[in-house]
Amino acid sequence: MKQLKAASLITAIKTPYTSTGEVDLITYDMLVQKQIDAGVDGIIVGGTTGEGHLLSWEEHLILIAHSVHKFNDKLLIIGNTGSNNTSEAIKATKNGFAAGMHATLQINPYYGRTSTAGVIEHLTRTLDIGPAFIYNVPGRTGQDLTPEIIETLAKHENFIGVKECGGNERIAYYEKQGIACWSGNDDESHDGRHQYGSHGVISVTSNIIPGLMRQLMDTENRELNKAVQPLMQWLFCEPNPIAINTALMMTGAVKPNFRLPYKALTKEQRQQGVELLQTIKLEDRVGNTLSSLIDSDFNYCI
């Protein structure tokens, strides 16, 4: 638990695909190694950015097991085994821990929303299995995990903390109570860390600039934070993970294969990205090339 709470930079790692839409484990391993080289503390496997919702449970759990097998001794492996179905969340979480993951990321039931009491019961059942980060992202679930809910869950022995998308004021509120928080908003994460007392960030941006995100978590650096804000804003110009997928394809880090319903950014958006990524030194970004690509370069799978 101490090691988990000490992790200040956790990357919500991308899941790459082959041209036929299968999970590309060779490229995945290269992406994870880039994170290790940059000093990232852990990865979320199959999260929103990793498109866990587009993976079958079999694919999802194989990816967690693969990550454990390859990288267990190099960084923390946190499996996103949450679901809006309590039975599925319990089964996936048990399987994830059986595969050796260090912790789980759990979300409150989305779409089929439930009562406050139901949310607490759902998350308590998964906390009973092993160490868990709780993810609050009302923009996706349609339901805020209020302090009433989090303060109740925080009493559980397996509660690690919260990935909080509700802003730095809420993070500061929790941290003052001893409830560990990681920012879920990259653009707020530097200030969250150094001004509001967060434990760190669970990041999308660190997929492409892990070393710079490491610097932002380790030391207050307002100049660097200001410099990367335009890139962070661009990475969320469409619902995540569309832009980070496109960016990693533009830098040659992954093959230009999407699983639908995600599609590449438009030509105009890609050109904006090229201009932003050109401001980042080659050694600071993941991928060895930079091109806006053309529309026909992208392959769409199901």
* The one catalytic residue among 14, 28, 34, 135: 135
Token pair 């438009």 is found at: 266
Residue 127 identity: L
Distances (CA, A) of 214 to 7, 8, 225, 261: 11, 8, 11, 32
262 has catalytic annotation:
no
Tokens of 161: 């903390």
Sign of torsion over alpha carbons 266, 269, 275, 278: negative
Spatial distance between the Cα atoms of 34 and 241, rounded to a whole number of angstroms: 19
* The one catalytic residue among 14, 28, 163, 174: 163
163 has catalytic annotation:
yes
Q: Which residues are catalytic?
A: 135, 163
